[in-house]
Structure 1
Amino acid sequence: MIQIIIAMLIWGSIGVFIQYIHLPSIETAFLRAVIASAFLFVYTVYSKKARLHKIKENIIPLVVAGIAMGFNWIFLFQAYHYTSIANSTMSYYFAPIIIILLSPLILKERLTILKIISSLGALIGLFIIMYYSSGNTVEGTNDKLGIMYGLLAAALYATVVLLSKYTKDVSGIEMTLIEIASAAVVLLPFVLMRNELHIKDMTSGIFVLIIGIVHTGIAYVIYFTGVRQINAQGAAILSYIDPLSAIVFSIALLGEPLKLPQIAGGILIFGFTLIGQISRSKK
């Protein structure tokens, strides 16, 4: 359990690090994917955990999920640039609700009354945050645009999760390695066309390395080590350390304000999403 908690705290801090990386979102996502892919490749080779025949059998859903993951990172980083980490996190954590709503169509799961109530409750929370968010706040920010980017990232993350259901007998590390490597390959043409991959200061370079190695490579290794030791319901509950710690970090380290409507909306989103996730994990 301690491994999952550590992984969630690492992921919860990524928004703070993004604030100090002076690169466009596409270039940041690309470098994160390249660095993390290299780290995970070395890890799988050293630990002899890569099974090429299993990867080959699942290559199509893994590559498509990797494409979705790459653009998911871009939109999430855009959300961090345009609105607060709290708003970005709360909109991004609408992903489990998207999964619940799409599961009957894609995974043929039954849509229960509890799942419907959970979805409506989270939707009300999102509406509250959107309604009380301003347009342009300080220079370079736009809360509503940032929240929309967060929702786009959530939809793409939901796509990654749903596609993972179509993989068979492939480990979490194998899945993550191929998905992140695919994300790097897909983002490469955009990076080359834009020609904006210029790291102008040492801080940006160091923090890019950190989010690639620590927030992605190491965090995923720790997470998949811990997730084998806990049931699905426990993992669903512990996953909420990620968004809650992200909000705490943003307030404590960046001094971001958190207004009452945001708190109310966040409670509705996190609370009803948690209920929905627990109901799914019991199946």
Structure 2
Amino acid sequence: MRNETRGTLELTLAMVLSGTLGIFVVQSGASPFTVVFFRCLFGALALGAYSLARGYLTGHGFTARTLALAALGGVFIVFNWVFLFEAYEATSISFATVVYHTQPFFLVLLGAVVLRERIGAAKVAWLGVAFAGLVLVSGTRPGDTASLKGLGFALAAAVLYALATIVTKRIGGVRPHLIALVQVTVGIPLLLPFADFGEAARLGTGWGWLAGLGLVHTGVMYVLMYAAYAKLPTARIAVLAFTYPAVAMVADWAVYGHHIGLVQALGVPLIVLASLKVTLGRAAAPAPRTAGRAPAAASPAATRSA
């Protein structure tokens, strides 16, 4: 019981940190590509130092195949962040975060297309509920270019995160910290041509926010999440995951005065409920057996953190 209590505190703190991520992105004053580049750089330093200190780099368990899969997952993760941060810029943190939490439904759909997984009637029904919630939350009109643009960016981010989840689930025998380390390391050369270093040189105090994104929201947050995974049942993880959007919405309102409208608010519980049902339904299914010396990576969708 004490172990579960500690895991609950760890995951709750990780989700609270995740909920404040949008504030750090906006306050940095940098463009999305520049933000993600430095998040990857500082995040790689943080996760690399932690993995080295814990001895995870010795006997890491990677093969050529799993390393390639981790790198591919990194491509999806990195551009998922770019699109999510673009959505923050186009609309608001609250709006983008709620739409972003359609990830589980894209995971179900991609699972059916890519992995030939069967979609039962119950999942189809919950997908319908989620779609209704998404229509309400979007609240967009044909002429509302900014909202439509933000909606598109957030949905693209959700699709990329679902793709990263499918790829990561196929990696066994490697600690999740090391998979995350590979993913953020891949982002450094990948985004190097797109990062605006002239802009970065003029950021001033924005550097503190960028460092926080890498050291806190990537290093500390991921360590807390993976520590909690080993202590908590999947149902508890799925429920605690919704601390993230709740904190993001409160933070957006408290700092920037942004909030979603009444009609949009009606869609939030529909997305939350459908997401919870789909996530728990997938968790109840028997997991494939994987061989390896180290614990397999927990699915990124288990917490859907940014």
Which TM-score applies when normalising by structure 1? 0.92
Residue 13 of structure 1 aligns with which residue?
20
Contiguous gaps of at least 5 residues in structure 2: 1-7, 286-306
Q: Determine whether 1:198 maps to 2:191.
A: no
Segment of structure 1 superposing worse, 98-107 or 224-233: 98-107
CA contact 1:75–1:149 (8 Å) conserved in 2: yes
Q: How many residues align?
A: 277
Which runs of structure 2 are paired with 1:52-71 in the superposition (5 Å)?
A: 54-57=61-64, 58-71=66-79
Residue 197 (structure 1) shift? 4.4
Q: For residues 218-237 of structure 1, what are the structure 2 equivalents within 5 Å?
A: 218-237=220-239
Deviations 1:141-183 (A, max 9, x none): 8122111111111111111111011101111101111111112
**1:52 Cα offset (Å):** 5.2
Q: Which residue of 1 aligns with 2:302?
A: none
Determine if the alignment matches structure 1 residue 188 to structure 2 residue 192: yes
The aligned residue for residue 40 of structure 1 is 47
Which residue pairs with 1:146 in the alignment? 150
The 10-residue stretch of structure 1 (22-31 or 42-51) with the greater mean CA deviation from structure 2:
42-51
What's the counterpart of residue 167 of structure 2?
163
CA distance in 2, matches of 1:188, 1:88: 25
Moved over 3 A (4+): 131-136, 194-197
| Superposition pairs of residues 75-86 of structure 1, within 5 angstroms | 75-86=83-94
The residue number in structure 1 matching 2:266 is 264
**SS at 2:28's partner residue?**
coil
2:30 aligned to which of 4, 19, 23: 23
SS at match of 1:20: helix
Does residue 49 (structure 1) correspond to residue 63 (structure 2)? The answer is no
**CA contact under 8 A between 1:20 and 1:203: conserved in structure 2?**
no
Q: Look up the SS of the partner of 1:55 in the other structure.
A: coil
Identity %: 26
SS at match of 1:181: helix
In 1, distance between residues paired with 2:89 and 2:160?
A: 18
> Which shifted more, 43-52 or 93-102?
43-52
Q: Give distance in 1, aligned partners of 2:142 and 2:262.
A: 14
Deviation of 1:95 (Å): 0.9
**How far did 1:266 drift?**
1.4
Give the letter aligned to residue 68 of structure 1: F
- Partner-residue secondary structure (3-state), 2:61: helix
- Residue 103 of structure 1 corresponds to which residue in structure 2? 111
1:90 maps to 2:98: yes
TM-score (structure 2 length as normaliser): 0.86
TM superposition shift of 1:132: 4.0
Is the CA contact (8 Å cut-off) linking 1:12 and 1:245 kept in structure 2?
Answer: yes
Q: Which amino acid counterpart does residue 185 of structure 2 have in structure 1?
A: A
Letter in 1 for 2:148: K
Contact 2:48–2:181 at 8 Å: present in 1 too? yes
Rounded to whole Å, the distance in 2 between the matches of 1:171 and 1:232 is 18
Which residue among 4, 8, 11 is the counterpart of 1:4? 11
For 1:235 and 1:68, how far apart are their aligned partners in 2?
A: 23
Aligned match of 2:249 = 247
Supply the AA of the counterpart residue of 2:236.
G
C-alpha distance in structure 1 between counterparts of 2:232 and 2:198, whole Å: 43
SS of corresponding position for 2:42: helix
- Give the residue type in structure 1 aligned to 2:40: A
Task: State the Cα distance separating 1:9 from its structure 2 match.
Answer: 0.5
Which residue is equivalent to 1:115? 123
| Cα distance, 1:70 vs structure 2 | 1.1
Q: 2:14–2:222: 8 Å Cα contact kept in structure 1?
A: yes
Letter of the 1:224 counterpart: Y
Q: CA RMSD in A?
A: 1.7
8 Å Cα contact 1:115/1:276 also seen in 2: yes
Asked whether the 8 Å contact 2:110–2:163 carries over to 1, the reply is: no
Q: Which amino acid aligns with 1:61?
A: L
